[in-house]
Every structure is written in C-alpha cells, then in structure tokens.
Amino acid sequence: MNRRVGKTVSWQRHWLGMLLVAVVLVAVPFVAALGGQAWVRIANFAILYIFLALGLNIVVGYAGLLDLGYVAFYAVGAYTYALLASPHFGIHLPFWVILPFGAALACFFGVILGAPTLKLRGDYLAIVTLGFGEIIRIFMNNLNAPINITNGAQGITLIDPIRIGDFSFAQTSTVFGVSINGPHKYYFLLVTLAILVIFINIRLQDSRIGRAWQAIREDEVAAKACGINTRNIKLLAFAMGASFGGIAGGVFSAMQGFVSPESFSLMESITILAMVVLGGMGHIPGVILGAILLTALPEALRYGIDPLQRMVFGHPVVDPESMRMLVFGLALVLVMRFRPAGLWPSSQRRRELSEGTH
C-alpha cells in the first residue's frame, strides 16, 4: 500500500495543507456558534460519528466483516460511563479511569461477539451481529429488576461531565482570554479523539496487520494458506472496532449527561454502517465525508424543510421527521445505484466493485 503515500507531494505543500485543516478545525465551533449553540452540538455529533464510523471502518472496511450491531459497543461504553459517574450508584470515578475501562469492556464484548461468529460471512454475520446489538439494547432496557442496574427505559440522568481537576467540561471558562463554553470544550476533545482514530486507521492500513485484514477480505482460504491465523486477526478487528465504540459511548454519555436504551437502537447501527458504506468503505476521507453528510443532512432538513413548506404551501404538509427518512432512503438508493463503491471510495474498493478485469 506504499503507493498511497504520495511521494511526489512536496513537504511544503503537505504542511500548508495541514495548517489549513487545523485553522478550519479551530474555526468551526466559533463559526457554528453564530448560527446558535445547537449547531455546535451538531458539529460535535458529526465528529462523534466520524469517530464511530472510523471504528466500524476497521471491522467492515478493513477486515470485511459486516457488523450490524456496532451500536452495542457504543452502548456498553456509554452505560459504563453512566454507571460509574452518576448519582445512580453514587460512584463518581474520573473520566480517565472510566474511558479506558469502558473501552476494555467493549473490547471484551467485541471478542465475545467475534468468537462464535468467526465462521460466518456476509449476510449471516450481519444477522448475528444485528441480533447481538438488539440483545444489548434489550438488556439495558430490562436490567432494572430484580436489581436496578440500568434504570430501565428511564435511563440514567445527571451523569458527570468530563472534568480535569477544576476544569469542568460542563461550564464556561476562559482560556487565554477566550471564553469557551461546554460544547466548545467537547468539540476540541472530540476533534482530538477523531484525529487519534484517523491516525490509527492510517497506520493500521499500511501495516502487517492491515495487509492480513485485506488478504482475509480478498480470499480467506488463501490467507490461511499463507500462514495467517485468520481467527486471531479477525478477532483483533472486532476487538479494536469495539474499543473505539466503547470510547465514543463514554464521551457521548459525558456530553449528554443522560443515557437511555433509546439511543442505541438498530437504526443507530444502520446509520453508522451507512456512513461507512455511503462514504466509501475502507477509505478514511470517504468515511469522514459519509459521517458528516449523514449527521448534517437530517439537521439541515429539520431546519430547512419546515420553512420551505411554509413558503411553498403556506403550511407544513409533511412532517419533517418522516421527510428525513424519505430523503435518507432516497440518498442511499441513489448512491448505491450510481456510486456503488461509495461517494469517495479508495481506488482499491472501486476496483473490487468494477466488473471488468481489463
């Protein structure tokens, strides 16, 4: 995969590009704030979804394992944080203890899910993982009796924000003379995490492990014959993807201050998978694009459709929520019809999906 490292791009241009990206990333929350705090939150969710989608990308994009229950790991991470940092049990551990613990627990669940499904492929794997995702959600929903662990459908409230010493992510504070409020802080935290996951994705892609994943995706029998322990390598993909899901869940918990099983529905799993597929499986920029589009589009519709309808018909005709599903479905169908490899696929994936071998 050395060819992806563009050696012709001069270093100066490289750094200039990086600087530009950094400036844009810093500017985003302040620009978004002009349209209201809601847009900062939307930006935060977009980045959280980038993080999640890139975690799932390891499982689906790199190792080629179709996972429809990814949200289960997100839920495990979220509930771990919620239970260990809320008045529910009266435990208030610091985030730097819970986040790694949540990641480890999600990783454990990843292996639990991965181990029995190793021999399954494609649709069959998708069905089992889908079931797993639902099981976790239903557990969260019903683990309020006989012992109240998850507080059932009511969810857990008053979850601690992330706090470093006296620097709480829930309050506004002044850093270097600039006033930064809660959502802004989470924005920068999320950007840092997203950069980390992007870095890990890039590094993995171009490594011995990444090649093994690609080999398994291409031809599992041949990969085995080449001496790849496909069991371990697949479990590794599940475990890594799950860990990222766990971390994302923890941050979600802290950011929202509230979790309930509702947030971890099948629809959520499908949305994250759609981000990966729509953007371009296995291609980092594509997945990022997918995540941004699928987070921003519904919001844009929410804010845009209603005024538009009032303008055209004088009163709302279609409920924005159902309009959202319509547009979402239509977008998926159109992308799969005209760009089956995703909106911004890697050259690799485009080849895999093109019929001709010319």
Partner 1 sequence: MSEKPILLAACEVAKHFGGVKALHDVSLTIRRGEIYGLIGPNGAGKTTFFNCLTGLYKNEGGYFVFDGNRLAADAPHKAAAVGIARTFQNIRLFGNMTAIENVMVGRHLRTNANVFGAIFRNPATRAEEVAIVRRAEELLHYVGIHERAHDYAKHLSYGDQRRLEIARALATEPKLLALDEPAAGMNGTETEALRLLVEGICRDGVTVLLIEHDVKLVMGLCTRVAVLDYGEKICEDVPAAVQKDPRVIEAYLGGSVA
Cis ω on the peptide bond leading into residue 320 (within 30° of 0)? no
Residue 87: CA atoms inside 13 Å, Cβ hemisphere, count? 3
Closest CA to 194 of 344, 343, 55: 55
- The least CB distance from residue 354 to partner 1, in Å, is 10
Which residue, 97 or 222, has its beta carbon nearer to partner 1? Answer: 222
Nearer to partner 1, 42 or 106 (CB): 106
213-to-78, 117, 130, 134, 152 alpha-carbon distances in Å: 28, 16, 22, 27, 38
The helix/strand/coil state of 233 is helix
Does 5 participate in binding partner 1 (rule CB under 8 A)?
no
Q: Which stretch binds partner 1 (CB under 8 A): 63-71, 93-101, 290-298, 349-357?
A: 349-357
Nearest-approach distance from CB 42 to partner 1, in angstroms: 30
Given the complex with partner 1, which of 4 and 92 has the nearer CB atom? 4
The two structure tokens encoding residue 256: 């929202």
Residue choice 8, 174, 322, 357 for contact with partner 1 (CB under 8 A): 357
- The distance of closest approach from Cβ of residue 229 to partner 1 in the complex, given in angstroms and rounded to an integer, is 5
- Near partner 1 in 172-201, by CB under 8 A: 199-200
The residue with tokens 């980092």 is 284
> Smallest gap, in angstroms, from Cβ of residue 353 to partner 1?
10
Q: What is the DSSP letter of 115?
A: G
Restricting to residues 196-255, which ones interact with partner 1 according to CB under 8 A? 199-200, 203-204, 207-212, 214-215, 218-219, 221-230, 236, 240
Q: Coil, strand, or helix at residue 85? A: strand
Instruction: Tell me whether residue 314 is exposed, middle or buried, using C-beta atoms within 10 angstroms of its C-beta: 0 to 12, 13 to 18, 19 or more.
Output: exposed
The piece of 46-54, 287-295, 314-322, 345-353 that touches partner 1 (CB under 8 A) is 345-353
208 or 315: CB nearest partner 1: 208
How many residues of this chain interact with partner 1, rule: CB under 8 A?
A: 34
CA distance 77 to 130: 18
**Hey, what amino acid is at 52?**
L
- Distance (Å, rounded) from C-alpha 281 to C-alpha 290? 10
Q: How far is the CB of 66 from partner 1 (least distance, A)?
A: 18
Is the distance from CB of 191 to CB of 25 less than 8 angstroms? Answer: yes
Closest distance between partner 1 and the C-beta of residue 230, in Å? 7
Residues in contact with partner 1 by CB under 8 A are 1-3, 199-200, 203-204, 207-212, 214-215, 218-219, 221-230, 236, 240, 348, 351-352, 357-358
